[in-house]
Structure 1
Amino acid sequence: MTVSEGEKIPTGIPGLNDVLGGGLPRKGIYLVQGNPGVGKTTLGLQFLLEGQALGEQGLYVALTETRREVELIARSHGWSLDDLPIWEITPAFKRIRREDEQTMFHPAEVELDETTRPIFEEIDRVKPARVVIDSLSEIRLLSREPLRYRRQLLLLKQFFLERECTVLLIDSQGFAGRDSGGILETLIGGLIVLEKTTPAYGTTRRRLMVDKLLGVSFREGYHDYQIKRGGLVVYPRLVAAEHPKAFSREQVSSAVPELDDLLGGGLERGTSTLILGAAGTGKSSLASQYAVAAARRGEKSVLFTFEESVGTWMARASALWPDAESHLRSGTIRVVHVDPAELSPGELSSCIREAVEKQQVQMVVIDSLNGYLQSVPEESFLILHLHELLTYLGQKGVTTILNMAQYGLLGPTMDVPVDVSYLSDCVLLLRFFEAAGEVRQSISAVKKRSGRHERTIREFQLDTHGIRVGGPLKESYGVLTGMPSYRGGEGPLLPSRE
């Protein structure tokens, strides 16, 4: 398969084409830069194998690793390199004098021409459309001095342009720009930087950035990625402005009339709701009530739980709603357990996008933001990321529910780890209060941006029939202060269902 002049060629890396604006421009020379362990070799192999799948000949030039090491990396991903030509530098070393074979030698002892000439000959023999050179550090060392290195780079560039190859040059980030004086960056058509960080606890986090791409509009900034079996998977940074969609702004019912009355008729489609409360006040159950109500209307929901396993959610939901298990089996409700030590914010956004765009999900629940915060390195980054995510979901007409636990259980001081209330369209507050020697729960709507809501405080209760919301607590005072007083009788505030 041939690609016409000016067309972009796919990289074979999920998500990277979106970052690059469709792929890499044909006949360009691009630098892939990063420290050891970021996946540079894997990226290069994916690029060549994608070309092979499209009928384009490829060539892998191994200057640092041996053929066996390259094949070992490929096997770890389940790839076969039987049809991919690999040229390795080993034959050049065989020309070293016999007496030197028993000693340790530096790569600079090998003449540069003896290394590059066979590469050019192999390229002319194979006639590849895609070439990966791994890595430039060997050519830099063999060049010995900057002037010769610059000449060699110019020679490589001219050689590849004449043969209309698309080339990936792999280089270690520690060397790039330091020994060359920035020569390399001025000669290439694009630069992709791969990075990794290791937190105090949890898996290594990886991200990439397209630092340069001549004549092409691309998505700037950092993008999370993972190295999985099968290669790199990139999670493009979410840009809400790229995903507008028209939808009907109708009310979303909870199927609990008193709760809908509290919210002036219900939530609005395309809005976000923050549920605040101490541990045990019923935040997860309240969010699940909306998901079950949506499932009964035939709408799909997905719940991302950070603290609760799928089994725990199922056990609690079955006790409140007998039909919860059937909704889970049918797929109208999907529960995804998220490990904040393993999942990056970019991957979570990608999972949410897939649920919305491919599975037509109309409600998203994140339970809770406390766990979500642990997967984000900085509080300011959480605010920006959450703002973009909520804007995207709102533009798609998705109803979003966010749970956040407040510190402490009782008392006047109920802090939150980070204030995101201003990002939400609606805020519900759940609190404990004491009445006649019994701990009870209350619910109030403290904000609703899209319309009117009650200013009352109502009792909130969970039983075997689901969620119950009572009338206004007119005989209780100071419920929201954490120091309530009750001036009513000792009877139940909510009448029995029987």
Structure 2
Amino acid sequence: MTTPDLDPPPLTTGIAGLNDILRGGFPADCVYMVAGTPGTGKTTLALQFLLEGVKEGESCLYITLSETRREIEKVARSHGWDLSGLNICELIPTEGNLSADAQLTVFNPSEFELGETTEAMIAEVKRCSPKRVVLDSLSELRLVAQNSLRYRRQILALKQYFAGRDCTVLMLDDCTGSVADDQLESIAHGVVNLEHLANQYGAERRRLRVVKLRGVAFRGGYHDFTIRKGGLDVFPRLVAAEHHNEFADRDLPSEITALDSLLCGGLPAGTSTLMLGPAGTGKSTIATKFAMAAVERNERAVMFVFDENIGTFRSRSRKLGIGIEPYMTNGMLSVQQVDPAELSSGEFCTIVRRAVEGHGGSIPAKVVIIDSLNGYLNAMPEEKFLTAQLHELLAFLGQNGVVTIMTVTQAGMVGAMQSPVDTTYLADNVILFRFFEARGEVRRAISVVKKRSGKHELTIRELEINDRGIQIGEPLIDFQGVLTGVPTFVGKPSDLIKQDRHGV
């Protein structure tokens, strides 16, 4: 009894994120279509696929029907690639096709062009015996074939030919030249669509989607990607259920005694905390104190700052006596300034994931701070997907034992507050910050209104931030209506942290 031949391993694409989406790469010895309008990155993806084959010692062939060899090499140089190990076949019209004699004939030129192009292609494949082939692009063949029947028959014939030669083929389609024809998608073993979206402001967004891949449980949906020096960087859509690690039950204290009393110990590992309040109430400063408490326990913390630059962050911390500099130097505290106009949500999720998983040899982060969700919201091309993506990101961080802290700046100063998005139900813990008026001064209040995994104080305490650091007073038991911003004070002046602006 004979055993059936095992399928060869998939061919890696040279793009880590795309390999993850395809569950390892393209299944070998099949024909695939990579479709997208001009500028989406098809040529770059194809070159990375071929150069990965060259690195594996395979013979690889790039057949171009539209661009010259010089143009392709120019693209490669922009990425720092060497194409010397790659076979490039140019099948583009020569200067002779521009003469008047070449254009005067009683026969349909397409009858000759299609046959000549196919013969030249086959001859080059026979000469190189490649394991990987890229055909760029199908729109040229579609134009030469002139009708969908001839075009489909030609692609079927090419597919049959390559199938007998143990060859993996990527056919690029720039979706130009005629009305879109979905027939080819049924012929190809797999289809990958590339898109780029122009926003009203900021950098354009690029994303890809695997439409089909026979016999493979690929990762569906849209996945963001960018093109930078070195090729495509693909950010697979985060699926939290696929990432779970065991972690110890512990609390992260702030090392501020009164705040830790409010939290009854600190922030539990694997939970997310939302710091909610108007601008200037101290949310970022308290978040920084939690980061410092982590690095002082030899745990790495990562801060993603959307609303201020790193210079301002350093200056503010220094003036408050928070010694961040040594830890930023040794890498235990990483502060990354994020420009929401230049970043997609998928890329941000991947950056956070890489920090938590310790990519690049760094220590895995145990504390992640997003300051603020308002900036994260602005990074989203479509606001309605923010909650779903944030839920997946928080679930991933929680399943890896990370303490996640997010700040949200509410509109308004006193009284009724409005949030840009309601995420309080997603967070495990909610710390509320408020301004209130007392004795002719604007003061700050802090309280814990939610803690899923344990008990917490229900009191409201006064918060003071100045050049002497952070102070949190005793519970404001002699105040009523603090959260409204205009409380009634029925206690003694000595119950307040601060007696006057200039006193001690």
Q: Counterparts of 1:362 and 1:59 in 2: how far apart (Å)?
A: 46
| 2:36–2:194 contact (8 Å) kept in structure 1 | yes
TM-superposition CA deviations, 1:186-243 (whole Å, max 9, x none): 1111000000101111001000001100001110000000000111110001000000
CA contact (8 A) 1:295 1:327 kept: yes
Aligned: 1:467 with 2:477: no
Is residue 372 of structure 2 the alignment partner of residue 368 of structure 1? yes
Q: Say which of 425, 437, 442 aligns to 2:440.
A: 437
Check 1:110–1:440 CA distance in 2 against 1; reply closer, same or farther (3 A cut): farther
* Further displaced range: 482-491 or 327-336: 482-491
Given that 1:289 and 1:467 are in contact with CA atoms closer than 8 Å, whether structure 2 keeps it comes out as: no
Match of 1:142 among 120, 136, 144: 144
Determine the structure 2 residue equivalent to 1:489: 492
Residue of structure 1 equivalent to 2:209: 209
Alignment of 1:8-19 (within 5 A): 8-19=10-21
8 A contact 1:304–1:338 mirrored in 2: yes
TM-superposition CA deviations, 1:449-480 (whole Å, max 9, x none):
11111111000111334322111111221111
Q: What whole-Å deviation, never above 9, does each CA across 1:25-51 have from its counterpart, x for those lacking one? A: 110111000011101111111111111
**Matched residues in 2 for 1:447 and 1:322: separation?**
27
Q: Write out aligned runs for 1:265-280 (5 A).
A: 265-280=265-280
Task: Decide whether the 8 Å contact of 2:262 with 2:457 is kept in 1.
Answer: yes
**How far 1:363 sits from its partner (Å)?**
0.2
8 Å Cα contact 1:107-1:138 kept in structure 2: no
Return the alpha-carbon distance in structure 2 between the equivalents of residues 50 and 470 of structure 1. Answer: 62
After superposition, what is the alpha-carbon deviation per residue over 1:283-338, rounded to whole angstroms, capped at 9, x for unaligned? 10010010011111111100000011111111111222353211111211110000
Mapping of 1:17-32 within 5 angstroms?
Answer: 17-32=19-34
Paired amino acid for 1:403: T
The letter for the 2-side match of 1:296 is E
| Distance (whole Å) between structure 2 residues aligned to residue 53 and residue 193 of structure 1 | 26
Counterpart CA distance in 2 for 1:451 and 1:371 is: 30
Q: Tell me what 1:395 maps to.
A: 399
Letter in 2 for 1:390: L
| Alignment of 1:427 onto 2:430 | yes
Alpha carbons 1:302, 1:365 under 8 Å: kept? yes
How do 1:444-463 residues align onto structure 2 when only pairs under 5 Å count? 444-463=447-466
Amino acid across the alignment from 1:409: M
Question: Are residues 1:157 and 2:169 paired?
Answer: no
2: CA distance, partners of 1:188 / 1:207: 21
CA distance in 2, matches of 1:140, 1:36: 16
> Which of 131, 134, 157 is the equivalent residue of 1:132?
134
Q: In the aligned structure 1, how far is the partner of 2:264 from the partner of 2:99?
A: 89
Aligned equivalents of 1:41, 1:146: Cα separation in 2: 25
Q: Which amino acid aligns with 1:335?
A: V
Relative to structure 2, which stretch is displaced further, 323-332 or 267-276? Answer: 323-332
CA 107–46 in structure 1, closer or farther in 2 if over 3 Å, else same:
farther
Q: In the TM superposition, what whole-angstrom CA distance separates every residue of 1:90-147 from its partner, at most 9, and x where no partner exists?
A: 3x646759534689xx984852001110110001001111000000011111111222
Q: What is the 5 A alignment of 1:68-83?
A: 68-83=70-85
The 3 A distance-change label for structure 1 pair 129 and 261 is same
SS of 2:437's partner is: strand
Decide which moves more: 93-102 or 394-403: 93-102
In the alignment, is the contact (CA less than 8 A) between 1:10 and 1:17 conserved in 2? yes
Residue aligning to 1:6 = 8
**3-state DSSP class of the match of 1:192?**
strand
Percent sequence identity is 51
1:197 aligns with 2:197: yes
Partner secondary structure for residue 483 of structure 2: coil
Q: Using a 3 Å threshold, how does the CA distance of structure 1 residues 143 and 299 change in structure 2: closer, same or farther?
A: same
Map 1:260-339 onto structure 2 (within 5 A).
260-339=260-339
- Give SS of 1:151's match: helix
2:192 alignment partner, SS class:
strand
SS at match of 1:25: coil
Question: Could you say which residue in structure 1 is the equivalent of 2:3?
Answer: none
Answer yes or no: is the 8 Å Cα contact 1:96–1:110 preserved in 2: no
Aligned AA for 2:382?
E
Residues 1:179 and 1:266: Cα distance change in structure 2 (over 3 Å)? closer
The aligned counterpart of 1:348 is 348
Deviation, structure 1 residue 425: 0.2
Shift in Å, 1:72: 1.4
Q: Do structure 1's residue 65 and structure 2's residue 100 form an aligned pair?
A: no
CA distance in 1, matches of 2:436, 2:109: 75
Distance 1:27 1:154 in 2: 15
CA distance in structure 1 between the aligned counterparts of 2:167 and 2:277, rounded to whole angstroms:
60
Counterpart CA distance in 1 for 2:497 and 2:229 is 55
Q: TM-score, normalised by structure 1?
A: 0.94
CA shift, 1:183, in A, is: 2.0
Rounded Cα–Cα distance in structure 2 between residues aligned with 1:386 and 1:433: 31
Counterparts of 1:473 and 1:333, CA distance in 2: 34
In the alignment, the residues of structure 2 paired with residue 347 and residue 100 of structure 1 have an alpha-carbon distance, to the nearest angstrom, of 54
SS state at 2:419 partner:
coil
Q: Is the contact made by 1:275 and 1:429 (CA closer than 8 Å) also made in structure 2?
A: yes
Amino acid at match of 2:222: Y
Which stretch has the larger CA shift, 474-483 or 415-424?
474-483
SS at match of 1:415: coil
CA deviation after TM superposition for structure 1 residue 83, in Å? 2.3
The separation in 2 between residues aligned to 1:108 and 1:465, in whole angstroms, is: 83
Residues 1:265 and 1:109: Cα distance change in structure 2 (over 3 Å): same
RMSD over aligned Cα atoms: 2.0
> Aligned equivalents of 1:142 and 1:110: distance in 2?
9
For residues 96 and 413 of structure 1, do their structure 2 counterparts lie closer, same or farther at Cα, with a shift above 3 Å needed?
same
Partner of 1:450, secondary structure, is: coil
Asked if 1:218 is matched to 2:222, the reply is no
Deviations 1:27-79 (A, max 9, x none): 01110000111011111111111110111111000011111111111111111
Unmatched 5+ stretches in structure 1:
none
* One-letter amino acid of the counterpart of residue 468, structure 1: Q
TM-score with structure 2 setting the length: 0.93
Mapped to 2, the partners of 1:458 and 1:487 lie a distance apart of 15
Map of 1:46 onto structure 2:
48
Please tell me whether the aligned partners of residues 254 and 293 of structure 1 are also in contact (alpha carbons under 8 angstroms): yes
What residue is the counterpart of 1:418 in the other structure? 421
Answer with 81-90 or 47-56: which moved more.
81-90
Q: Look up the equivalent residue of 1:368 and give its one-letter code.
A: S
1:478 match: 481
